[in-house]
Structure 1
Amino acid sequence: MASESTLKPVFLGWKRPLLPLAAEWLWRAYPAQDQWDLSQVTIVLPGRRAKRQFGDLLTQFANQHGRTLDGPLIITTGGLPERLYKPTDPIANEMEQTLAWCQVLRAAPSDSLTPLVATPPPATPIAPWLELAGAVRRLHEELASEHYSFGDVAAELAAETPQEMPRWLLLDKLATSYEQTLASVGRSDPYAQRRRAADAKICQSPGDVVVIGAVDLNKSIRAMIEEIAPSVTILVGAPPEESDLFDEWGCVVSQGWIDRTLEIDEQQLVPATDAEDQAIATSRIVSDWRSQFELDQITIGITDEAMIAPISQQLVVDGIDAHAELGEPLIRSAPARLLSLVVDYIQNRSFRAFSSLVRHADLHAMLSADLSSNAAEGDASAASGNWLIALDRLRSEHFPLRTSDPLPTAAADRELVGRLIAAVDQWLQPLLASDAGGEVRLADWCDAVHTILASVYDTRRKSLRGVWQKRLGQALAAIDSAIDRLSSVPQQLELALPSGTIAEMLVAQIAEVRLHQPSAADKIELVGWLDLALDTSDALCVVGLNEPFVPESVVADPFLPGGLRHRLKIADNDQRYARDAYALSLMLHSRSASRLIVGRASADGSPTPPSRLLAACSPQTAATRTLRLLEELPPRPAVASIWTTDQSSSDLPIPVPTAYDPPTILSVTAFGDYLRCPYRFYLRHIAKLRPLDDTVVELAANQFGNLIHDALEEFGKTGPKHSTDLHEVEACLLDVASDLGRQRYGEHPSAPVRLQITSALNRLKLVAQRQVERTHQGWQLWAAERQVDVQDNAVLMVDGSPFGLKGRIDRIDYHPDNDRWAVIDYKTHAHDPFKKHYKKTTDEWIDLQLPLYRHMLSALGIEADRDSVQLGYFNIGERQADVRVNIAEFTPQLYASADLAAADVVRGVREGRFVANPDAATNFDDYAVICQTGSIEHLFADQEEDALEETQA
C-alpha cells in the first residue's frame, strides 16, 4: 500500500505508545491471509532500540492473531539513503574521510589557509593536522546532511556578512580537492553521493516505505524521501488535531512547539539534589510501582549517561537488577583497557604508566607465568608471583621516572624489576619494532597490535567459560573490527604517522563503540533520552530533566554559531527544543504512570538547573514550579534493601594479636610506638606490617631524613670531621649527599625529588657551618652512626630479667677540655627534644629514645655518669635558625621516671598487652583500615548524623 503522491503524515494519536499503534496500522494496511506478508515493506525508525522493539512487536502481533510473519526490512533513518540509490564507488569511512581531508589541507599553501585557521600548523608533527582535518570533516558532514555545500553557505553570507565569505570559499575549493582525493583511491563521500542521487532524481523505492516516529530528519534524507514520495507513508505519534505542529515529512515545526504549553502534572515532578539522592528517588519510585507493574513494564530514562552507574548500584542494593540499553562502553572491557594502558606506556615509557600496565589482570597472569618459569634458583619473589611488591618497593623507595633509564644502583629489587621491564618489552616487541624509525605505516602497526593482543588472549579466552568467555570474545571482535578499519585504509591515503598518534586514533575509535548485552524480563531497562519517545513501557521514570541535558544546546561553535544555524535552518537550539518538547509530550500522554526527577547537581557535582521544558507554562505556574523544585528538601528515607540494618557499627572484627614469641630485644625508637598505641606497636614490630605505597611522587619525611643522615654518617666516618675549614667540610657533605642521591634516585630523578635533593644540600650547607662552629667550641665528633645491640650488653633490667636494647646512635661528641659527652640524634625538623619526649601537662612520657641511650653508654665505651651525659637533637630545619644542637634538659628525677615507663613497656610486651589507643589515629595513619578508623568509621558516623537530622526534623 502507498500514500498519495504528496507526502501526508498519518496521525495515530498518543494515548498509547507509538510502536504498538504502528503495528496495528500495518495490520490494517496490509491484511493477513494465512501469512502476514510484509516482505515488500521497508520500515524506517529513528534508533536501534526502536528497530529491535518493533521487530519483536510484529512477531508478537502475528502470533496473537494466529499468523506467521514474513517480516519487513527494518532499518534506521541513517541506513535509508543507501537503500534508495546505488553508490558509484564504495563509501569512505570516517577514518578515510579524515585522512583525505588531512592530505588536502597539508597540500594547500600555508598562507592560503589563514581564512580557516589564523596560524596553520607546521608540516610536522602530524597530530595538529589530523585534529584540524577531523574538525573540517565534522563541519562538512553536518552541512552536507542538511543539503548544503560550503559554497551554499558562502552565498548565504554574501549579502550580510561578506567578511566571512573567504573562509567558506576556501572550504568549498578544498572540498573539491577532497572529493577528487577520495575518487583517486576508489572511495566516495557519502553525502556527496546522496546529493548527486537526489539532484539527478535517480532514487528508487525498494517497495513501500513506512517511516515511524522520525521527527528530526535532516534535509538530505528529506530530499531523497521526496523523490519516492508515492511509496512513502509517514506515521506520527500525535492526534490529528495537532497536525499543525508537524510538517509534511512528519518532523516537528520548531516555532509551534516553542509557543506550546506542555501539559505536566505537578505530581509527576520529583525534586532531588545530587546524584545519590536522584538514584534513591528513582529506586523509591520503582519500588512503589512494583505493586502495579512488572519490571519489564517499567523503563528508567537517563538524560545523563554518568547517572547509569549510581542508579544501577542503588537498584542492585534494593534487590533490582538493571540493564543499560546504552550498552557498556567497549573502552571499559579488559582488552580495550589493556590497549589503552599500552598506548599510555609507549607514549612516554614512564614508571607510572608501566605500573598501571602490569597490574592489568590479564597481562599480570601472563607475566607471572613467564617470570615464574624463568625464575632463578632462590628468587622467591619471581617464583611466587610477588614481583608487584618488588616493583612497588622500588617505586616507593627510589622514585624512578622512566623504564628506559638505568635503574638506581642502590635499588635492592633492581634485578627483578629489570627482568620485569625486559619481559614487557619482549611482549611489546612487535609494536616497538614497527615504530623503530619514528613513524610507521598503519597496516604494520595494526598487525603488531593484533600480535600483542593475541599473545595475551589466545590462552585467556580458552580459560573462561559461559558469559565471561562470550563477553571477552565480543570485546575482542569489536577491537579487531576497529583495527581492521585502520589497516584497510588505501595506501594512497596512508600517512607515515608516529606510533603514538596511530594509537590515539585507535583508542578514539574504540571509545565510540558500545557492547550490547541481551536484556531479560527480570531486569529493569535504563534507556537514553533519545530512545524514550518510542519506548513501549507502561510506566516511565525520567531521571535528570535538567539543563544542559534536555534540551541539548550548542552554545559555542566557531564555524556555525547560533545565528548562522538559524539562517540556514539547520539543527539549532530551537529545533532541539522542539524535538525534546514533542518527545516529552508523547511520553506523558502515552504512559499510564510517569515521573520526572529534577536534580540539582550532575554526577560530577556540577549545578544543573531545571530544564527549559518545565517553563513551557504560564508565568505563574513557572514561578511556583521553580520555587518548589528548588526549596530545601528533607532527608529522603532510604528504601529497605538487602543492606538495611539496625547496626551502628561494623561486624568486621579488629584482628586480635595471635600467639607469638615475646621479643627479647627492642629498638629504642619502638618504645615510643608502644606508648602512642600498643596495638599499632604490635602491628609494626611484632606482625611486621609495613605500608607500601607506589603512588607517592616525592620523598617521605623519613627518606628525606635518611638522605641527610647518611651523608652525615659518611662524613663522620671518612670525612674531615675535625676540620675548621668551612669550604672543606661543606664540599665533603655536598659531594657525599649528591652521590647518595644518584645511587638512590638515578641520574634523572623526577622534579619533586630533584627539589628535595636540592633542599637537602641547602640544609647540609647550614650543617657545615654549625659543624665548624662546634669544632671551634672544642667539641670533637667522636663517633658516627654507632650500632648498639644486646651483644654489646645494652640491656634494661625489668623485674630481675634483662631485656635487650638496640639502636643506631647518629652522633657522639666529646669535649676533651672538660671531659663532657653528648649523644645526639639528627632530626630534620626544629622540634624541642624535651617536648618531643615528655608532656608536662599530663606528666607522661610520649617517647623514650633519648633517655634509653643512657643504658647504652657502657656498650659504647663511654665511661661517665649516665645522667651527666648530654642528650639532644641536632636539628636540621628549613631555616638557618632551625639548624643547631638542641640539648634536652632532663633532671635525674625525670630520668628515673623514664626508666619506670620503659620497664612498663617491657612488661606490656612480655604480657601481650596490645590494646588500641583510640586517640592514636591521625590523618596519615598507616593502619587506619585495620583499626577501622578510616572509611568504615566515617560511614557509620554519617549514618548517625542522618538519623539525628531525621529525629530533629
Structure 2
Amino acid sequence: MPELIPTPAICTRRLLDPATPLLVSAARYLLSKGEDLKDSMVLVPTAHSGRQLRQSLPEHAGRAILAPSVVTPDVLFRPLAQANAATKIEWWHAWAEVLMRHPLEHLDALFPQLDNVDRDFNWALKAVTRFTKLKTEITNVNHSLTQVAEASEEPDRWKQLAELDQQVIELLSNRNLSCPADAKRQAALHWQPPQGVSSIIILGVPDLPVLAQLALSQSSIPVEILIQADESLAETFSLWGVPTPEYWAQCPIHIPQPAAEHISVSATSLEAVDSLLSELTSHSSDSITLAVTDSALSPLLSDKIASAGWPSFDPDGTPLSHTGLWAFLNLYRRALANSNNFLPIPSLLKAPESSSILTSLKNHATISQSVDSLNKHFLPQNLSHAIRCANGELKEVLTELQAQLVNAQNAPASIALEALFDKIENAHSFPDEWVPTFLEAITAIKNLELHKQSLSTHHALDLVLNASEGVKIQNDRSGSAIDQLGWLEIPFSQEPNLRILGLHEGHVPERPHDDGFLPESLRQHIGLYSRKQLESRDAYLLSNMLSSRADSGSTKVFLCQTSPSGEERQASRLLMRCPSHELPARVQHCFNESLESKSLLPAYHPGSWKLSLPHPPAWPENKTLTISPSRLRDFLHCPFRFYLKQIEGFQRETFDAQELDAAQFGNLIHDVLERFGLDPSMRDLSEEIDVIHAFDTLLEDTFNKTYGSQTSLPLSIQKESAQQRLHAFAAQQAAMRREGWKIHHVELAVGTSDNEIPWQVANTPVRMRVDRIDVHEESGKWRVIDYKTSKKLKKPSEEHFENARTFDHPNHNYGELLPPASKRARSERRWRNLQLPLYAEFVKQHFALTELPELAYVAFPAAAASTGLQVWNQYDDTLHASAMEWTHNAILAIQNNQFPIRQLTSAQTSWDDFAALSPEGLEHAFDL
C-alpha cells in the first residue's frame, strides 16, 4: 500500500514549455489535432478551468470550432444508474440505525466513554457524518476499511468501523440500495468512454484522483497526459503526471531578486487588499490574472474591487450555508425540535423568510419590536407562556407559529418539509442550485418512510441541511471586469500579469485537517493526499506560474499578517524555497515583526468619524421638563450623557435575555414588598414565621403571573435568591412592627397624572415613587425607606456622595462641596445622588412635618446575611440644605441647556453605557 495503478495500454506523455502559460501551450497543441479534436475528451482540474479552456480555443483558432468534451475527473467514477446508489440521507440514516442498535460493548474502540451518553439520533448523526467521510476518503484511494485496519497502529478502531460499515451495506442492500462510496469505485472499475470519444487528454491535472486513474487504466482508447514542465524534469512526475515528493517537496522555487519587489507584506488584510488594488489600477483588466488563495480575504477583496469600479466574479460561488435562508432554516429546526421552545422564536420572527410561512405576520418591524419587548419584560419560558403574555398581532403570530410547529411534528416529515419549502419558494428567491439536492433529499425521506422508518420532522430537516451543506450558489458573471481565480485555476489563465492574494501557510500548500483516525503517517501509507503530496503539487504549480511569466509579464504575491477577523497569518513555506544565502533576507521580509498598521485602526480606536447632533444640545421646547431622582442622578453623573439618554433616546438594549437583569430582579422584590405593604392582613404581622409565609405566598404568585410556573434553571435560581433575601428581611420586618413602626404608605406615586400627587421643585414638576413610608405609633416619628437590590451591600451615605475632582469644578458642581467624610479623608465630596433628600423634602412638605423624616435603605444584597435596614444617621438639616441647593442648581442648568461632557474615571467607564462609542471619551465621538 499504496498500490500503483498502471496506465492504459496506449498512453503517452507530452511535456509543454513551462516558459509559456499552460493555457496558451495547450490551446496550440489541441488545435494542432485538427478535426480529431472534436472526438476527444479533455480532463481539466475544475469546472471553471474548463470554461477557461473552452473560451480560449476559438480565440486562438481565430474562428468558431467544434470543441472537444471538456470535463473534470469525477465524471469517470460517477455511480451508474443501475447501481441504485443511496443518497447521502439514505446512507446517513442507515448508519444512524446501525449505530443506535449496535451492542455497546462492540463500540468501545470507537467510543471509549459511552456509558452515560444518550445514543439518540442527534448523537448518531454527528458520528455518521464523520464515519461516512472516512469511508469515502478510503474508498477514493481504492482501499477498504479492513485494509486500513491492517496498516493502522490502531487496528481495533478500524475493525469496528469495518464491521459497522458491513452492517450498513447489508441494510442498504435489503432496501435495494448500494453504498455510494462503493458505487463510485464500481463505476471506476466498469467505466467506458462515451460514444464518439476516440481519445482522452489529461490536461494540467497535477492531482489526478486514484479512482480516475483506476477508470482510465482499463481504457481501450489512447490516453495522452499533458504536463507543463521542462524535459529535464520528466522523471519527477509519476506515470499519471503527478509531481513526486522526492523532488518537488524540496526543490528550490525561483523568485527573481530582489524578492521584496515580488512579495508584498502588509500588517493587515485591508492594507494588503489596498496594495493589490493599487497594482490592479495600473493595468488593464484583460492583462491581469487575479487569484485569491486565502478564502477569508475574498469578501473583503470583492467589496473593495467593486467600490473601485472593477466588479469581480468568484467562480467558487457562495456557500448556501452563508445565506440568510440557511440561518432561518436552522432556527426553524430548533423550533421544530421542541414546538413549545421559545428561545429561537425572537430570531425566527425577525428573519425575512418568516413572513412567507406565517400569514398573520403583516408588519415585520412591529413584530420584531413587540417580540423583543415581550422577551424583555416576561422572559417567556416556553411558547405557550409567550402567547399568554402577548396581545394583538404578536399573539396571533405566535399562536399561528405554534400550531404550525405542532402540525409539522405530527405530520410525515416529507409532507411537512415539502409544505415548508413550497411556502418559502413562493415568497423568496429559492437558489436554483439547491433544487436538485432538495428534491433528492425529499425523495430519500419518502423512501425511508416507505420502509417504515420513523423520522421526526426536525431530524429530517437536520438531514436535509447536512446534505446541502456543500451546495454553492453560483454568482452572476455578467458585467464582471475580472475573475477571482482559485489556486488550481491559475494555470488556465493567459494574462501576462499574475497577482496572488493570500499565499499563506495552511492555504498554500493546503494542510489536511488533523485527524485522530488518519494521522499523517497513515495518510502517506495508504496513498491519501498527505502534506508532502500537497506541498509537492503546490510547489510545482507555483514554479510554473513564475516561469511562465518570467520573460513576458510579472508575478506578485500579496500577504498579510492578520486576517479580517484578526487571526494570525504567515507566509507560505513555498516562499522560503530559495538559496541559503537569500533565506535570511527573505525571512526578514516575509515575517517582518516591525510592520505597523497605517490604514486599519485598532479595534479600540474611535477612528476619524464623528457623530453629529441635528441641533445644539437643548431641552425641546415642546417637551415639558419633569425631574425624577434617576434623572438627577444621571445629570450629576454626566450632563451630556443625560442629554443623549433623555432627549436623543440613546438607550442600550439587551435582546434574547434568558434571565432577569438587575432592574427586573429588583422589581420582583419591590412588587412582593408593595403587595405586602398594601395588604392589611399582612403588613401588621409581627412574627418572623408569619412574615416569611406571607413573603413566600406573594413571591410565588407574583413570579408565576409574570414568568410562568415552569421556569428555566437560571430563573429558578434567581427566584430562590429573591426568596432567600426576603427571608433574611422577614425577621427585621417583624421586629420593626413589634417596635411600633407601622407601614403608612407603599409606592406612593408623585407626578403629573390624575392618580399621582403633584409636587414641584424649582417650579419644575417631579415624578417619583416613594417605596415606603413608616410612622412610629408611639413617638409619631416618620421614616422614609427605599428598597435596594444589588450584588454588594449599599449604604445611603456611600450611594449619595463621591469624592470631588479638581477637573469637575466649576462645570459639574452645582453647589458648595461638602467636607471630607472623616478626619483621615482628604477629598471634599460632591452629591452624586439626590434620591433620599428629594423623598425627605416631599414627605416633610406633603405631610406638613416640623422636622425631616428619618432616611433609610432596606438593602437586599447578594449575600442574604447582610440584608436589612440601613439608617442614614448622619443626615441632618445641613446636609439637607446642601442637597436642595444642588437640586435647584441642577434643574436650573437643565433649563438653561447646560450639558457639558464630564470625564469619567476608569471605574465609572467600566459600566458606562456610552463607553463603546469612544473609550477615549465622548468628546472624540461627537462633533460638538
TM-score w.r.t. the length of structure 1 is 0.82
RMSD (CA atoms): 3.8
Return the alpha-carbon distance in structure 2 between the equivalents of residues 168 and 672 of structure 1. 69
Identify the residue that residue 31 of structure 1 maps to in structure 2: 34
8 Å Cα contact 1:126-1:497 kept in structure 2: no
Does residue 390 of structure 1 match 2:370? yes
Return the alpha-carbon distance in structure 1 between the equivalents of residues 285 and 302 of structure 2. 14
1:448 to 416, 424, 449: 416
Identify the residue that residue 795 of structure 1 maps to in structure 2: 759
Mean CA deviation greater in 87-96 or 99-108 = 99-108
1:847 CA displacement: 2.9
8 Å Cα contact 2:336-2:405 kept in structure 1: no
Does residue 831 of structure 1 match 2:810? no
2:688 to 690, 712, 726: 726
Mean CA deviation greater in 566-575 or 683-692 = 683-692
8 Å Cα contact 2:740-2:776 kept in structure 1: yes
Identify the residue that residue 853 of structure 2 maps to in structure 1: 869
Counterpart amino acid of residue 788 in structure 1 = V
1:359 to 350, 353, 366: 350
1:552 CA displacement: 2.6
Paired residues for 1:196-207 under 5 Å: 206-207=197-198
Identify the residue that residue 945 of structure 1 maps to in structure 2: none
2:613 to 620, 638, 653: 653
2:837 to 848, 851, 855: 851
1:69 CA displacement: 1.4
8 Å Cα contact 2:11-2:222 kept in structure 1: no
Return the alpha-carbon distance in structure 1 between the equivalents of residues 577 and 706 of structure 2. 68
- Aligned pairs, how many? 875
Deviations 1:707-728 (A, max 9, x none): 1122112222225434432211
Deviations 1:731-786 (A, max 9, x none): 22232223222222211233322222222222212222322343454433333222
Paired residues for 1:476-625 under 5 Å: 477=435, 480-481=438-439, 483-484=441-442, 486-487=444-445, 489=447, 495-520=453-478, 522-554=480-512, 556-591=514-549, 592-625=553-586
| Residues 647/253 of structure 1: CA separation in 2 closer, same or farther (3 Å cut) | closer
1:11 CA displacement: 0.8
Mean CA deviation greater in 187-196 or 721-730 = 187-196
Counterpart amino acid of residue 143 in structure 1 = I
Query: Is the partner of 2:200 in helix, strand or coil?
Result: strand
Return the alpha-carbon distance in structure 2 between the equivalents of residues 926 and 547 of structure 1. 41
| Residues 740/70 of structure 1: CA separation in 2 closer, same or farther (3 Å cut) | same
Identify the residue that residue 301 of structure 1 maps to in structure 2: 291
| Residues 612/339 of structure 1: CA separation in 2 closer, same or farther (3 Å cut) | same
8 Å Cα contact 1:185-1:492 kept in structure 2: no
8 Å Cα contact 1:271-1:630 kept in structure 2: no
| Residues 477/218 of structure 1: CA separation in 2 closer, same or farther (3 Å cut) | closer
1:243 CA displacement: 0.9
Return the alpha-carbon distance in structure 2 between the equivalents of residues 690 and 320 of structure 1. 40
Where in structure 2 are there 5+ consecutive unaligned residues? 1-6, 601-605, 805-812, 818-829
Counterpart amino acid of residue 519 in structure 2 = P
Query: Is the partner of 1:502 in helix, strand or coil?
Result: helix
Return the alpha-carbon distance in structure 2 between the equivalents of residues 615 and 721 of structure 1. 82
Where in structure 1 are there 5+ consecutive unaligned residues? 373-381, 435-443, 462-468, 640-645, 942-953
| Residues 425/538 of structure 1: CA separation in 2 closer, same or farther (3 Å cut) | farther
Return the alpha-carbon distance in structure 2 between the equivalents of residues 585 and 786 of structure 1. 84
Does residue 290 of structure 1 match 2:276? no
8 Å Cα contact 1:650-1:936 kept in structure 2: no
| Residues 132/581 of structure 1: CA separation in 2 closer, same or farther (3 Å cut) | same
1:246 CA displacement: 0.9
Identify the residue that residue 89 of structure 2 maps to in structure 1: 95
1:483 CA displacement: 3.7
Return the alpha-carbon distance in structure 2 between the equivalents of residues 109 and 602 of structure 1. 47
Mean CA deviation greater in 178-187 or 576-585 = 178-187
Mean CA deviation greater in 888-897 or 244-253 = 888-897
Deviations 1:844-887 (A, max 9, x none): 43333222224423675x34224x32223222223334632221
8 Å Cα contact 1:834-1:888 kept in structure 2: no
Identify the residue that residue 704 of structure 1 maps to in structure 2: 665
Does residue 807 of structure 1 match 2:765? no
1:521 CA displacement: 6.2
Counterpart amino acid of residue 826 in structure 1 = Y
1:780 to 742, 747, 751: 742
Deviations 1:291-319 (A, max 9, x none): 2x223543443333222223333444555
Identify the residue that residue 225 of structure 1 maps to in structure 2: 216
1:505 CA displacement: 1.5
1:78 CA displacement: 0.6
8 Å Cα contact 2:8-2:216 kept in structure 1: no
Return the alpha-carbon distance in structure 2 between the equivalents of residues 507 and 935 of structure 1. 45
1:685 CA displacement: 5.1
Does residue 432 of structure 1 match 2:409? yes
Return the alpha-carbon distance in structure 1 between the equivalents of residues 481 and 472 of structure 2. 19
Query: Is the partner of 1:241 in helix, strand or coil?
Result: helix
8 Å Cα contact 1:407-1:414 kept in structure 2: no
Counterpart amino acid of residue 13 in structure 1 = D
TM-score w.r.t. the length of structure 2 is 0.84
Counterpart amino acid of residue 664 in structure 2 = Q
Identify the residue that residue 379 of structure 2 maps to in structure 1: 399
Return the alpha-carbon distance in structure 2 between the equivalents of residues 201 and 803 of structure 1. 91
1:48 CA displacement: 1.1
| Residues 210/933 of structure 1: CA separation in 2 closer, same or farther (3 Å cut) | same
Counterpart amino acid of residue 671 in structure 1 = L
2:67 to 71, 74, 90: 71
Mean CA deviation greater in 685-694 or 551-560 = 685-694
Mean CA deviation greater in 85-94 or 767-776 = 85-94
Deviations 1:115-139 (A, max 9, x none): 6555789995234444444434333
1:515 CA displacement: 0.6
Identify the residue that residue 878 of structure 1 maps to in structure 2: 862
Return the alpha-carbon distance in structure 2 between the equivalents of residues 936 and 288 of structure 1. 39
Return the alpha-carbon distance in structure 2 between the equivalents of residues 939 and 43 of structure 1. 63
Return the alpha-carbon distance in structure 2 between the equivalents of residues 56 and 341 of structure 1. 43
Identify the residue that residue 148 of structure 1 maps to in structure 2: 143
Identify the residue that residue 821 of structure 2 maps to in structure 1: none
Counterpart amino acid of residue 419 in structure 1 = E
1:54 CA displacement: 1.0
Return the alpha-carbon distance in structure 1 between the equivalents of residues 120 and 381 of structure 2. 25
| Residues 167/696 of structure 1: CA separation in 2 closer, same or farther (3 Å cut) | closer
| Residues 4/240 of structure 1: CA separation in 2 closer, same or farther (3 Å cut) | farther
| Residues 667/940 of structure 1: CA separation in 2 closer, same or farther (3 Å cut) | closer
Identify the residue that residue 763 of structure 1 maps to in structure 2: 725
Return the alpha-carbon distance in structure 2 between the equivalents of residues 759 and 516 of structure 1. 55
Counterpart amino acid of residue 336 in structure 1 = W
Mean CA deviation greater in 590-599 or 348-357 = 590-599
Mean CA deviation greater in 353-362 or 751-760 = 751-760
| Residues 680/773 of structure 1: CA separation in 2 closer, same or farther (3 Å cut) | same
Does residue 736 of structure 1 match 2:698? yes
8 Å Cα contact 2:98-2:164 kept in structure 1: yes
1:360 CA displacement: 0.7
